[in-house]
Amino acid sequence: MLLELFLLLCLIGIFKFVISWLVSPQVLKLDGKHVLITGGSSGIGKAMAKEAIRRGAVVSIMARNITKLEAAKVDLEKVAGNNFKPVCIVSVDVAGDYEEVQKAVQKTEDKQGPVNMLINCAGIGVAKTFEDLKIDEFKKLMNLNYFGSVQTTKAVISKMKEQGGGRIVFISSQAGQLGLFGYTGYAASKFALRGLAESLQMEVRPYNIYVTVAHPPDTETPGFEEEERNKPEETKLISGTSGLFKPEAVAKQILQDSVNGRFCSYIGLDGWMLANITCGMSPVHSMCDAIQQVITREPMT
C-alpha cells in the first residue's frame, strides 16, 4: 500500500513538472536587451535599473525632473563597471500629452533599440481619509499611477508584438490587493492597474508578451518618506505591521519574477499570503501556482 502511494505521489509530481514546463514561459535573458523604466530616477525604479544593468541590459529611464535623471545616470553607469553601456535619460511627464510620451519612447528606441521590457514605475502615494482628500488629488493619483502606465504601455505594445515578445511590468502595491484606511484614492489607482494587467495579459500572450503586476510592500524610498509626513495615524499602525523593505530587495524580486514571466510578483511572507488570498481569477505562472492558489482560497459561502 505504501509503495503504491509513493508511486502515485511520484507520478503526480512528474505530471505537475511536465505541465508546468509546457505552459511556463521561457526565461527572458536580459543581456543586451533594452529595458525602459519610468520613474527610474529614484526609489524602486532606480533600484530596478541597477539590477537590470547588473544582468547586462541596456537601460533607459524616464522621469520629469532632468536634474534627478542626470544624477541617476551617473550612478547607474558606475554600476556597469567594465561592461559600460550608456544609460539613456528622457525627461517627460508620462501622465501628460500622449504624443510627448510617444516621442520620449521613440528617443529611447533610437538610442537603445526596440524595448524588450517596459517597467511602469512612475507613481505617487497620498495617504488621507476620503473626506480630507481633495478631488484634484484623486485625479492626480489616477492620472499618474494608472494613466501614466497606460500611455507608456500603449507607446511600446505594437513594436513589442512585431518583434515577437517582451515583458511589461506594472508596479502596483499591496494597497492594490486590498483596501486600507487612508488609501481611498491611492488604492483605487493601484487596483486599476491589476484590472488593466489581467485584461492585457489575455490580449498579448499569443504574441509571447508576458505581463507582471507587482505588489511591493512599504519600501524605503523618497516617495515613501514624503507619504509618511501626512499619513493618518490609523494607516501607519496598519501598514507598520508589515515592516519596511529595502528598494534593492524589492527590485531584485520584481525583476526576477518578470523575466520568469510570472503574472503576480510579491515580496515577503505577508506578500505571499496576500497574493494567494486575493488571487481571484488572475493568470498563473505554473501548475504549482494554480494548485497553491486553490488550496489557500477562502471557501465560498
**Strand duo 117-120 + 88-91: pairing:** unpaired
CATH number for 43: 3.40.50.720
Instruction: Answer yes or no: is 16 within a domain.
Output: no
The answer to whether residues 201 and 195 touch, using CB atoms and an 8 Å cutoff, is: no
pLDDT at 177: 80
Alpha carbon distance 274, 250 (integer Å): 16
Categorize the per-residue pLDDT at 244 as very low, low, confident or very high, splitting at 50, 70 and 90.
confident
DSSP-derived 3-state class of residue 63: strand
**Which grid coordinates belong to 205?**
500572450
Residues 6+ apart with CB under 8 A from 133: 126, 184, 185
Categorize the per-residue pLDDT at 221 as very low, low, confident or very high, splitting at 50, 70 and 90.
confident
* Each residue's pLDDT tens digit, 89-145: 999 999 999 999 999 999 999 999 999 999 999 999 888 899 999 999 999 999 999
Instruction: Answer yes or no: is 122 within a domain.
Output: yes
Instruction: Answer yes or no: is 20 within a domain.
Output: no
Residue 58: strand pairing partners? 34
Distance of CA 32 to the CA centre of its chain: 21
Instruction: Answer yes or no: is 259 within a domain.
Output: yes
Q: 155-183 as b/e, with b when 16 or more CB fall inside 10 Å?
A: bbbeebbeeebbbbbbbbbbbbbeebbbb
* Each residue's pLDDT tens digit, 155-193: 999 999 999 999 999 999 877 787 888 889 999 999 999
Alpha carbon distance 36, 207 (integer Å): 19
Reply yes or no on whether 242 is catalytic.
no
Q: Which residue type sits at 221?
A: T
Task: Locate all alpha helices (DSSP H) within the chain, ordered by sequence.
Answer: 2-23, 43-54, 66-80, 98-112, 135-142, 148-162, 184-204, 222-229, 233-239, 247-259, 268-277, 287-296
Instruction: Answer yes or no: is 19 within a domain.
Output: no
Instruction: Answer yes or no: is 300 within a domain.
Output: no
Q: Which residue type sits at 174?
A: Q
pLDDT at 87: 95
Residue 94's alpha-carbon distances to 18, 61, 97, in angstroms, are 42, 12, 8
The domain in which residue 137 lies consists of 30-295
Which has the higher per-residue pLDDT, 189 or 219? 189
Comparing C-alpha atoms, which of 225, 152, 145, 229 is closest to residue 187?
A: 145
**Which grid coordinates belong to 67?**
536634474
pLDDT at 243: 73
Domain count, the chain: 1
Percent of the chain past pLDDT 70, that is, above it, reads: 79
Residue 228's alpha-carbon distances to 156, 232, 250, 260, in angstroms, are 34, 9, 19, 33
Residue 166: strand pairing partners? 209
pLDDT at 288: 52
The answer to whether residues 263 and 212 touch, using CB atoms and an 8 Å cutoff, is: yes
Catalytic residue (choose from 42, 172, 173, 258): 172
Catalytic residue (choose from 186, 265, 266, 286): 186
Reply yes or no on whether 172 is catalytic.
yes
Categorize the per-residue pLDDT at 293 as very low, low, confident or very high, splitting at 50, 70 and 90.
very low
Alpha carbon distance 68, 40 (integer Å): 9
Catalytic residue (choose from 33, 50, 190, 231): 190
Instruction: Answer yes or no: is 212 within a domain.
Output: yes
Reply yes or no on whether 186 is catalytic.
yes
Model pTM? 0.82
**Strand duo 58-63 + 88-91: pairing:** parallel
Categorize the per-residue pLDDT at 4 as very low, low, confident or very high, splitting at 50, 70 and 90.
low
Alpha carbon distance 120, 38 (integer Å): 5
